[in-house]
Each structure stands twice: as C-alpha cells, then as structure tokens.
Structure 1
Amino acid sequence: MQIDKRIILREGTLSSLISVTFKGISQVILIENAVTGFIILIAIMLSSISLGSIVFLSAVMATLIGRFGGADKTIINQGLLGYNPVLAGIALFLNLEGGLRWVFALAGAAVATLFTAAMMHLMRNTKIPVLTFPYIILTWFLFLASYQLEMFQLSPSLVPQDLSHWLLHPGGTMDWIHGLVNGIGQVYFQDRLWSGILILFGVFWADWKLGLYAVIGSFVALLTAYGLGAEVSLLNSGLYGFNAVLTILAVGAVFSTKNILVPVTGIIASVLTVLITAGVDTWLVPYGLPTLTMPFVLCTWLFLAARKVLPRI
C-alpha cells in the first residue's frame, strides 16, 4: 500500500515535525536529509543516551520555535533553524556540571534558535550563510559567565592557562584510522570509533560525494597538522580534523560554484583551516575556552566572500 508523502509530511503533523527535527541534526554537517539525521542521532546515542536526548530535544525545540514564531517555511523545513541549537545543547551539556546542566543546555538551545534567526536577518544582504557563528558566540559567553554567576558550574577541563608556561607535547604514536574517523565524529563532539563510522555512513547515505569530501578533509587535516608538528594526542582525537571537514564540505560542495577548480579550492581551504585552528586555540587558551567551530566559520566566510570578487576560485 503506497501512501502519499505529501499527506504524511504535511506541516503540523507529527511526521513532519520528526522529519524536520532530523534535518536540523543533519544540517550540523551541512546536509539536508532526515535519514542522515536519524543515523547521526543513533551514532550519538551509542556514545551517550543522555547526550542523544539533548540533541533530539534541542532540534525539536528549534523546529517548534520556528513554527510558532512564524518563520519562513522553507527555512524551517530545511532544518536551518536546528543545527545551531543542536550544537549549543551538546556543548553546554558536555562542558557544564551540576544538576541544572540539562536545563542550561536546553535553554541555551532555545536561545541559539533566536540568535540564529537574528543573524540570518543581519546577514541576509551579504548572501553569506551564518553557519555556526550563533552557537559559537552564545556558548563562549555562557562559559565566560560561569566566572561571575555561581549557578553555572564549568567543567574543570576548561581551565585558563598562561601562554608563557604553555608546553607542546608532540610525541606519541599516531593512530591514522582513529584520527581520520574522529575528525569526522568530532563535528558532533564524538571521539568513539563506531560513532564516527556511523556518522560517516550517514554522510555517505546522503551523497557519496559529500562522504568522499568528508574523508578527504579529515585526511588532509591530519596530514597537514602532523607535518607541522601538532600534538599527536589532539590528532588522534580528531580535534584538528572536524573544522577542516566542515570547511571542505562548505567550500568544495555545499556552497561551491561550478568551476572545475572548486575541489582544489576546498582542499586548500581545509589546509588553511588547520592553521586557523592552531591560532584560534592559542588565542583562547588564556580564557579557558574551546575552539569549537570558529576556524570553520572564519575560513569558509573568507572563501565565500572572496568568491564575490573572484568567482572562479
């Protein structure tokens, strides 16, 4: 028995809400595909049911806020209001402590929806996507607020450090497989092999070209950072890879031109993202803040803005 999808996905139905919710999850990695979003949610659930619940609820809230707020239906149905709240929910849940971290994570996700809408309005004339900038700024400010507001209990792992005493630890055994997979998994803060593999499978499900780009971006980041003497522990954890993965997807595929040089431009952008990652991380060390996806945003904005003048790159 065949059922008309137009009836199932009619706005306001439960099926429509779930579909858009999964798209909000997949849009974190620049993909509009409900099945991909579902696969990625399962990958996160394998790591942590609590974290997976935060991801799902954050995406649901973003969809509901968009609908009740009267946002453009196209923006809602593409999941474009969901990915910043999803990332904000994950980052806050993982880096805050105490019994209220669930509340702060979901509240932060709700505010991230409003911030995303505001940034879309402010940047509409530039024709440049807001990407994950709203989530980054919101998360940084909430982490900094923990130094003034007792209710926010920041994780001990986020400790300000003095750069004059900073020591690099480049030694160790390089694990190329884990580093490659984790570079993709870390887009969703995942550093477990099977979670990363499942996320990569979700990307290939949506489009094999995007999956190939993701693998290339992670490998290029690994090779570049390793060649420049980055800490092996960070490479194995994928912390130099996820920004490069997002950048090559954005510059080389999702927001690309039809020029034959675009794949090369995407690879160059992913290499540059590694350098920006090291710089941003060093800049934030004295504040105890994580880099998040700021290198991806800066590098992608650079190339997309440059294309306004140099359309062939």
Structure 2
Amino acid sequence: MTTAQPAHGPLHWVDGTMPEFDQAVLRIPIVGFLEYCLRGIGQVVFMNSPITGAFILAAAWTHEPYLGFSGTIGVLASTLTALVLGFDRGAIHAGLFGFNGVLVGLALGLFLSPQWDVLVIVWTVVLSAASSILMAALGSVFGGAWGVPPLTLPFNFVTLLFLVSALQLSRGHLGDLVEPGAPAVTGPEVQTALRESASAVGDTDAVAVINAIFRGIGQLFFLNSLLAGVLIIVGIAFCSRIAAGFALVGSAVGMLTGMALGADGVQIYNGLWGFNSFDAALAIAGVFFVLTWRSALLGVLCAIFTAVLFGAIASIFVPWGLPALTLPFCFGTLTFLLLKGASKYFTFVPPADVVTPEEHLRRARREREALSAEGQS
C-alpha cells in the first residue's frame, strides 16, 4: 500500500514515512524487522511510520499491559510469517503484513480468557500468522480485480471465524465479552442520550463529547481510554497532520450519527460509534483520494455511512454475542473506493502509490505545474 517517500521540512527524519530512517535501519536485520512491525501497527490507520506504530503500541501497553503484549506478539507473528513464506518484501517493509496481525492479537487479548494463558497465547500466534496468509490471498484478488486493498478484512475473517467456532468448543477460552443474547428493540434500560451517560459518571456535556471522540480513536485498537486516543492521535500527527485532523472529524461524525439515530448513549460515550468512522474518513479524505473539498465531503459521507453500517452489523451479531469489529469500516470504505472511476473530480491514489495526504497534494501540484509548462511550450 505505501512505499517510503522523502518528506520535507526541518523534522523530515521523523515526519511522513521516514524513508531516511528506513534505509538506515535496514542494514541491521533485527532492528529492521522491528521497524517493519512498528510500521505494520501504524498501517492500521494507513500511516507508514514507525513513530505512529510506537505511539499506538505505547497506548496499548499503558491502557492494559496484557493487550499490549497480545498486540505485540500478533504483529511479530504475522510479519515473521510473511518473511518466512517469502511474500513481497516491499510490502513487508511497509508494514502491510503486520496491521491485520496486531488487530488479531489485540482482539484475542480482549475476547479470550484468562489472561497470560499459554493456550490463548498459542491461538494468538497461530491466528495472527493466518491473517498474513489471508492478506496475501485477498490482496491478489482485490488488487487484480478492482485495484483496491482488502483493508482489514483478513483480521475480521480470521477473528470472527475463530470466535464463532469457539462458541461450540470446550477449549475456546471465550471471555465474558462474547455473550450471545436475544435481539431487542430500544427499551427503558437503554440510555439514548450522551448526556445521560455522561451524568452517570459525573461528566459535563463538553467532557462527554471529548471522551466519546477520543475513546472512538482508541476503540479501533480495543482501547477504551481517552488517554489512549490522545496518544494515537499524536502518533498519527507525526506522520500526517491532515490524517490526524480527519481522524478526529471521523470519530466526531460517527458519534453524531449515533446520537442522531438514537443509539445507546453508553456505547456512544465509550467510542463504539466512532472507531470505524474515523478510519473510514481519513482513508477517503486524503489517503486514497487526493484531498480536495469534494474528497473531504466524500470522507464525511463515508464516515456517516460507516456508522450506519456499524449499527446494522452490531445488531445482526447480537444473537451470537459477537463484536462488529471493523467490518463496517471495510464495507463502507470499499464501497466509496469503488467510486474511483465514477467522477472526474476525484483523483484516486493506487494502493502501491499511497504515502501521506500531504505528499499526495505535493504530487498533484507538481503534475499540474508540469502540465501547465507543457501547455505553454
């Protein structure tokens, strides 16, 4: 999806995709491998930056050490599997065989029990490795047929298939968070206002909104924490300020969509309506489409659509007690990515050419200047 490209400015060594740093550490195999892994963590939010990955990993370890551990072994297992099986080395360097693995690790760390159990850790390693195999397979299909990436579909397929199977297995080690239930319409036990949820914990309306937005950032990594959300945004901003801005916008749009639909205020407050929308917004507004006011609007629309999908998929999964994970993000974002040839106003960035929104704008400006020079000659 992304190849390191030169950044600009006085902080270019830690800005953008950090190509100079990448070239330096590749000479040291172990350090280079760890850098691949950190880039893989950053690629969950489309940031090919080890600093972004380091901030996200720090957020996980700070929030819950076991989740940090599970995410770490997940990205290590998936990246190592790609290396051993000889998958595309450039894609491995860019972290494209790590982002599904870290999500598998974080998800199993949350949904399986008990913590630090040997069998649970083994499952985490095996399934994280499997996500790389599925990533290679889906990448070939999606890239060849439609020219779009499979996003986090490998993570969703591997994790959900295991959780569904584990419902009927004595050694599944499912935790209490996976609890099948009967579908229900909104009743008196559901708080349908963010204000009600905020008052339950003593927050003001403003604090509740800030909590919902930043918890929505953290929830992409199963981290229900305002601090985790702040750390992740800081990590994204090191690579791209535009992406960080649209991450906040997307989370806010998801929150507002949930409120407009009368969703459970507790879910909204804890960021569950924001995490799919924030990743969708930054994917469309600057990552896969060059940023313009039209692509920015498209990103907001994608965030709304993704939030609605979250409500629908979460409701469908209630009888199994399963989480929606990032399926809403995948379906919503892929729908909008397939618009790439539908309008002359949107400039699509092929997955192999993706870097940062800022670099995409610079490329577009250089192309316009080149065309202008040709026209004058």
Which band: TM-score by shorter chain?
over 0.9
1:232-266: CA deviations, max 9, x gaps? 10011100000000100111121114554100100
Q: State the 1:312 CA deviation.
A: 2.8
Map 1:16-31 to 2 at 5 A: 16-31=32-47
CA contact (8 A) 1:62 1:82 kept: yes
CA contact (8 A) 1:29 1:187 kept: no
Q: Of residues 106, 117, 130 in structure 2, which corresponds to 1:111?
A: 130
CA contact (8 A) 1:54 1:89 kept: yes
Question: How many pairs align?
Answer: 310
CA contact (8 A) 2:237 2:243 kept: yes
Structure 1's 256 and 104: CA in aligned 2 closer, same or farther, altered over 3 A?
same
Structure 1's 7 and 79: CA in aligned 2 closer, same or farther, altered over 3 A?
closer
Q: State the 1:292 CA deviation.
A: 0.3
Q: Which residue of 1 aligns with 2:63?
A: 47
Q: State the 1:5 CA deviation.
A: 5.1
Q: Determine if the alignment matches structure 1 residue 210 to structure 2 residue 243.
A: yes
Q: Which residue of 2 aligns with 1:143?
A: 163
Q: State the 1:124 CA deviation.
A: 2.2
CA contact (8 A) 1:218 1:245 kept: yes
Map 1:194-273 to 2 at 5 A: 194-257=227-290, 259-273=292-306
Q: Which residue of 2 aligns with 1:65?
A: 81
Amino acid at match of 1:297: C
1:35-73: CA deviations, max 9, x gaps? 111111111110122221222222122222222211112
% same residue: 27
Q: Which residue of 2 aligns with 1:123?
A: 142
Q: Distance in 1 between matches of 2:227 and 2:21?
A: 32
CA contact (8 A) 2:75 2:101 kept: yes
Structure 1's 247 and 5: CA in aligned 2 closer, same or farther, altered over 3 A?
closer
Q: Which residue of 2 aligns with 1:102?
A: 121
Q: State the 1:166 CA deviation.
A: 6.5
CA contact (8 A) 1:92 1:108 kept: no
| Structure 1 unaligned blocks of 5 or more | none
Q: State the 1:303 CA deviation.
A: 0.5
Larger radius of gyration: 2
Q: Which residue of 1 aligns with 2:216?
A: 183
Q: TM-score, normalised by structure 2?
A: 0.78
Q: Distance in 1 between matches of 2:300 and 2:23?
A: 42
Q: Name which of structure 1's ranges 134-143 and 10-19 shifts more when overlaid on structure 2.
A: 10-19
Structure 1's 136 and 11: CA in aligned 2 closer, same or farther, altered over 3 A?
farther
CA contact (8 A) 2:191 2:197 kept: no
Q: Would you identify which runs of 4 or more consecutive aligned residues in structure 1 move more than 6 Å?
A: none
SS in 1 for 2:177: coil
Q: Determine if the alignment matches structure 1 residue 133 to structure 2 residue 166.
A: no
Q: Determine if the alignment matches structure 1 residue 300 to structure 2 residue 333.
A: yes
Q: Name which of structure 1's ranges 11-20 and 78-87 shifts more when overlaid on structure 2.
A: 11-20
Structure 1's 116 and 6: CA in aligned 2 closer, same or farther, altered over 3 A?
closer
Structure 1's 164 and 57: CA in aligned 2 closer, same or farther, altered over 3 A?
closer
Q: Which residue of 1 aligns with 2:197?
A: 173
Q: State the 1:83 CA deviation.
A: 0.5
Q: Determine if the alignment matches structure 1 residue 158 to structure 2 residue 158.
A: no
Q: Which residue of 2 aligns with 1:82?
A: 98
Structure 1's 44 and 221: CA in aligned 2 closer, same or farther, altered over 3 A?
same
Q: State the 1:10 CA deviation.
A: 2.5
1:267-289: CA deviations, max 9, x gaps? 11111111111011111111211
Amino acid at match of 2:131: A
Q: Distance in 2 between matches of 1:157 and 1:55?
A: 18
CA contact (8 A) 1:184 1:214 kept: yes
Q: State the 1:300 CA deviation.
A: 0.6
Amino acid at match of 2:121: W
CA contact (8 A) 1:84 1:112 kept: yes
CA contact (8 A) 1:96 1:155 kept: yes
Amino acid at match of 2:46: L
